[in-house]
Structure 1
Amino acid sequence: MNPSTRLLMIAAVMIGCVGNSLANPVYQEQNGLVVFEAENTPSRLGSWRRENSIQGHAGKGYLNFTGNEYLTGRPNSPLQYTFKINKPGLYSLHLHCARETQVIDGETRKDVANDCFVRVQGNFDSGPNSGDKHGDHAPLPLLKKDTKFFGGKDKEFVWASGNQLDPGGHSNKRVAIYRFNTGNLYTLVVSGRSKGFKLDRIVFRHQSVTAKDAQDLAVSETLSSGAATADESSSTKISELIDPPVGRLAVVADGNSPDPDDIGATAVMFGLLKASGLNDRLVHLSHSCDLKPVNRISKSDERRRQKVLQRLCEDGVTKFGPFNNLKSIFNCRTQQEAAVNDLRDAIDASSKDNPLWIIEAGEPDIIGFALQAAAPAKHRHVHVVSHHPANDDSGDFFTWKQILDFGVTEHQIGDQNAGLQTAINYWDWAKRQRDSNIKWIWKQLQYAERDGVVKFQNNKFDCSDAGMLYWWITGANKGGNAFSTPAEIKAMLLWK
């Protein structure tokens, strides 16, 4: 993975989405240390609040997370810190943080309001003692995905490091150790987890530096006044970010159900495939896979959606093509048999070295019918990617258990709405692009927002299903990013 461009493009997105006139600063490793003041992030704060009421913090203050619940929550309001490593080697992560004791259901709890999520983007390796046992260095996939990091005392800032990375379960902690490479850029992403967690300072410490020296609050942030900014190097390629698994790709979307999100998501998928150079991997594309639409969408609106999706797919193939291995586009409502047969053929062509990855962006029935018609021996070479039970559990002919009983490999990557159902202004950059294809993507997101069938998409742009494709493009089950945001989508769409 080439960290430079990915991080730089993400920084540029934050400028475009937030309206920040400053470029995303690149912190410089100096004498084995990278030091950030948490409150100086260029990211949109979201549910984080700048405060200074608790003593013992460095700098002008700290960040207090006000989202989710005191006990837990999904990754929320990601903050980004871009940095460059000059001295290669092993680095440990240190957080200067505080928590809050809370009374919950009559019980005084000291194990709440005490954690955030952390992940690092870039080209690095795990520590030499990485493993799956308590106290091991964290394996690489754990370091690259949002993982709980806990620490702090009650309204008192203390340093947390060592065995603080928590993949889940008692006596099951890891040490956050990263083997960074010289000259490379990285991005640390810190997301809120539990309400009341307070983050003051972040340090990456080289193995040659003592913890005492690294945790000295008198040490200044390692941001050189002459340091480069992320957007100044935006021409750097992010080709190493693109790391899909072997095999082919199928996309089965609805869009004719009440939620119009597939309109914007499918448009984004076209852009991502083109940007990543993976057009030839797409072997099946179908839409309107809700075979028995519910009464929450009128017959006229449902027919309108079919037409919109068909035109969208045709335009997408024209704008972002060619798609040499895509025989046709299928409307599952009017071409159900043809759609099933095409997906069946893709399944039957599967093997260990050429599996089929199905993006389940709607009800599972078309997938079920295709698996039923395909050779049973081929099922084990099929991967089905899902991000929400709203799709899994909505079949009219197949339950999710029946899909899994075919023997396919399931990948549940988590609700992509968390990062990809956002306020409209997060996509303002696309509206301003000179590239007509990027503007086209923005128009599809706008159409879905104005669709009017459901109210929960008002004032939101939602491309959540595209998060499954982004996960697949960036490594899938081998470290793919399951928590993408419009910032990262922009980085990939525009990197060339």
Structure 2
Amino acid sequence: MLARPSGGADDQDANDHDADDQNIDHNSGGTMTLHRHRSHRVGPVLALFAAATLLGACGTQAAPPPAQAPGSFDDGVGRIAMSADGNQHDEDDWASAPMALAILAHRDLQPNLVHYDYNNHIWDSSQDHVENMTESVQEGGERFGFDMSRFFDDTDPQRLEAGTQNLVEEINASTEDDQLSIVLAGPIETVWMALNAADPEARTHVECVTHGDDSFNQTHGAEEHDGHDYEDLIDLGCERVEIPDQNSGLGPIEMDFWDFLTDSGDENWEWLYSRLDLVGNGDVSDAGMVFYVITGEEESDRSELKSYFQSGSGEATSE
């Protein structure tokens, strides 16, 4: 049985990384991003995204999302795991979580999402937060056609254990040619539990994607609950991927920006709008990490996201 850690710093030494295998980018915000394999995965996607943005600028009508998962696994994107809270502190997760699912579904990438644990603030919860986050994730997953057996509610001890084991298995399956991207949309603890239990060599083929620098999600577990922080994941061998804070481009905005979702006439997009409206400020910043994983775009904004949704299935179309 995988036990929940009692807290404290991890006692394992950091794995050494070969400097020749890494590229280091410094963006204008001072955040450092390290990545080994992303360039060969996202090159074709970036070309499609550029064409999609052009179509959006020309006024292409938004296409409704798929009702079920029609696609097959996309090797160019690779396996994706997500871990989010929403059950305490972060109300914006109620909007970001279904937006992230819609982003993946729009390119038929449902099969690429191999793990999603949510309500991952495992120390305590607010009941209304749990209810709202659970609805956003569960109904979003069903509406956008995901395999719900890969979704795990961390407020349920049995599902927490099952989810941890599932993530361990996905980490252990990772190789240089089959990398796993873990999107960190909540505190670090549940991901640390899985990484700590996984094969040390496999950990080096996992990237831990976060945004901002010393953010709440990166530090909260260690600072407030004697748990773990982002640096503890890196110490276990996970590849550091820190993109700029997504709040500047995908943070709070007047809700009328998102009217195109209701104007689409599609009930799934109308429901997505309702989750943004529940939060009330249009903040989908954590979804920017998923957008980065599938496009390589580190500093996306809501206009680019709108253009992406207006591009059919996330690809350029021709007459």
Q: TM-score, normalised by structure 2?
A: 0.71
* % identical aligned pairs: 29
Shift of 1:402: 1.4
Per-residue CA deviation, residues 151-177 of structure 1 (Å, 9 max, x unaligned), is xxxxxxxxxxxxxxxxxxxxxxxxxxx
Take 1:14 and 1:258, find their aligned partners in 2: how far apart are those partners? Answer: 38
Q: Which has the higher strand share?
A: 1
Number of residue equivalences: 246
CA positional deviation for 1:312: 2.2
Aligned residue type for 1:305: H
Runs (4+) of structure 1 exceeding 3 A deviation are 2-5, 12-16, 243-246
What stretches of structure 2 of length at least 5 have no aligned partner? 1-46, 63-73, 313-319
Q: Which residue of the other structure, out of 387, 394, 397, is the alignment partner of 2:220?
A: 394
Alignment of 1:183-198 (within 5 A): none
Q: Structure 2: which amino acid aligns with 1:432?
A: D
* 1:357 counterpart = 2:187: no
Partner SS for 2:149: coil
1:466 and 2:297 matched: no
| Map of 2:197 onto structure 1 | 373
User: In the superposition, relative to structure 1, how do residues 343 and 3 fare at CA in structure 2: closer, same or farther (>3 Å)?
Assistant: closer
Q: Distance in 2 between matches of 1:244 and 1:305?
A: 35
Cα RMSD (Å): 2.3
Larger Rg: 1
For the residues of structure 2 that align with 1:333 and 1:317, how far apart are their CA atoms? Answer: 18
Out of 487, 493, 496, which is 2:303 matched to? Answer: 487
Letter in structure 2 aligned against 1:418: S
Task: Return the alpha-carbon distance in structure 1 between the equivalents of residues 56 and 229 of structure 2.
Answer: 39
TM-superposed deviation, 1:9: 4.2
- Structure-2 separation of matches of 1:322 and 1:492: 20
* Unaligned runs of at least 5 residues, structure 1: 17-242, 294-300, 450-459, 475-479
Residues 1:262 and 1:244: Cα distance change in structure 2 (over 3 Å): farther
Evaluate the alpha carbon distance shift between residue 442 and residue 344 of structure 1 in structure 2; reply closer, same or farther with a 3 A threshold: same
State how far apart, in whole Å, the 2-side matches of 1:328 and 1:3 are. 28
Matches of 2:165 and 2:255 in 1, distance apart? Answer: 38
Relative to the length of structure 1, the TM-score reads 0.47
Query: For 1:413, which of 243, 257, 263 is the aligned residue?
Result: 243
In structure 1, C-alpha distance between the alignment counterparts of 2:116 and 2:59, rounded to whole Å: 29
- Picking from 236, 247, 258, the partner of 2:89 is 258
Does 2:254 correspond to 1:423? yes
**TM-superposition CA deviations, 1:132-166 (whole Å, max 9, x none):** xxxxxxxxxxxxxxxxxxxxxxxxxxxxxxxxxxx
Q: Quote the offset at 1:244 in angstroms.
A: 8.1
- 2:208 is aligned to 384
Say which SS state the counterpart of residue 114 (structure 2) adopts. Answer: strand
Q: Tell me if structure 1 keeps the 8 A contact 2:82–2:116.
A: yes
How many Å apart are 1:278 and its aligned residue? 1.3
Using the TM superposition, name which of 393-402 and 260-269 deviates more. 393-402
Match of 2:139 in 1: 315
Q: 1:287 aligns with which of 111, 115, 118?
A: 118
Question: In the alignment, is residue 330 of structure 1 matched against residue 152 of structure 2?
Answer: yes
Amino acid at match of 1:259: D
Determine the C-alpha separation between the residues in 1 that align with 2:131 and 2:48: 40
Q: Given residue 274 of structure 1, which amino acid in structure 2 is its aligned partner?
A: A
- Secondary structure in structure 2 of the residue aligned to 1:339: helix
